[in-house]
Copies of this chain bind each other. A is one copy, B any other.
Amino acid sequence: MSDDARAFVPGHVTGFFTVDRVDDPTKAGSRGGGIALSDGVAVTVEPAAETAVWLNGERIRMDAVERVLSALRADARVTAETPLPLGAGFGVSGAMALGTALAANAALDRGLSYNELVTIAHGAEVQAGTGLGDVVAQARGGVPLRLEPGGPQYNYVDAVPGHARVEYHALGALSTPDVVGGDTEALTTAGERALSTVVKEPTLATFMQASRQFSREASLLTDEVHEVVSAVIEAGGDAAMAMLGETVFALGTGLTDAGYDARSCAVYPAGATLDE
């Protein structure tokens, strides 16, 4: 049995998405677009007699993480640290699942490949109902465009070739299971339209504009988020809502220029990685 191992997984804000339900969790998921963030989750896995999951010093239960450990036949202490808020649309649960997969594989010498670990984490997140596309995006990094749903064996991922400073401002949480568990036909139609727009012109400006249109068409834009996004645009910036959270993200200094107290990071070019 090896020592502990540590992985870093970027955060991920989703601009637009579809819900693609099929029975096989490695084929289910979503299409859509988002931005991987340099603010992410550092996950340490240490073999232990009994599984325990800690996030920022608090013991938590996280179904996706437990499913990953179970798939890897591992009992472990999982310790995660992140500056990102939970449940606010930053893909923290996906990052915890993927980071646990990468670090547990290393700590316990499970000998699986990168894509196999991504598949396990993606399936765990889908089955837990806490996310549909974050894990795949967090395995890619950059500004991923998920053109097909599912894990690495089934999906097709492209990206917007761009780099930028990113600011974010979290107003509150939204429940992913509440939204993706209901009727998602209109949401998926809006997501397909946004994806098609960005595929035709894969630039950051088009990505932000398509994200704003999606939040309106999918009826997910809250009044509070709308107010902040509008203020950023009036101040000459570019902002949109992070799915699914009451969160605004902006390019450059968009939020601070509009007078908001925002945290800043950047597009993170790499996917999740194991630390040396």
Q: A158 CA to B275 CA in the complex, in Å?
A: 18
Interface string of A169-204 (1 = CB under 8 A from B): 000000000000000000000000000000101110
Say which one of A52-60, A113-121, A227-235 lies at the interface with B: A113-121
- Inside 8 A of A141's CB, which chain B residues have their CB? 270-271
**Pair B113/A161 contact, Cβ less than 8 Å:** yes
**Pair A112/B202 contact, Cβ less than 8 Å:** yes
**Pair B271/A160 contact, Cβ less than 8 Å:** no
- Inside 8 A of A165's CB, which chain B residues have their CB? 276
Q: How far is the CB of A112 from chain B (nearest CB, A)?
A: 7
Q: How many residues of A contact B (CB 8 A)?
A: 34
Q: Is the CB of A74 closer than 8 A to any CB of chain B?
A: no
Q: How many copies does the complex hold?
A: 2
**Pair A159/B202 contact, Cβ less than 8 Å:** no
Q: How far is the CB of A109 from chain B (nearest CB, A)?
A: 8
Q: Is the CB of A41 closer than 8 A to any CB of chain B?
A: no
- Inside 8 A of A274's CB, which chain B residues have their CB? 161-163
Q: Is the CB of A25 closer than 8 A to any CB of chain B?
A: no
Q: How far is the CB of A55 from chain B (nearest CB, A)?
A: 22
Interface string of A234-276 (1 = CB under 8 A from B): 0000000000000000000000000000000010011101111
Q: Is the CB of A208 closer than 8 A to any CB of chain B?
A: no
- Inside 8 A of A162's CB, which chain B residues have their CB? 106, 274
Q: Which residues of A contact B (CB under 8 A)?
A: 102, 105-106, 111-117, 141-142, 145, 152, 158-165, 199, 201-203, 266, 269-271, 273-276
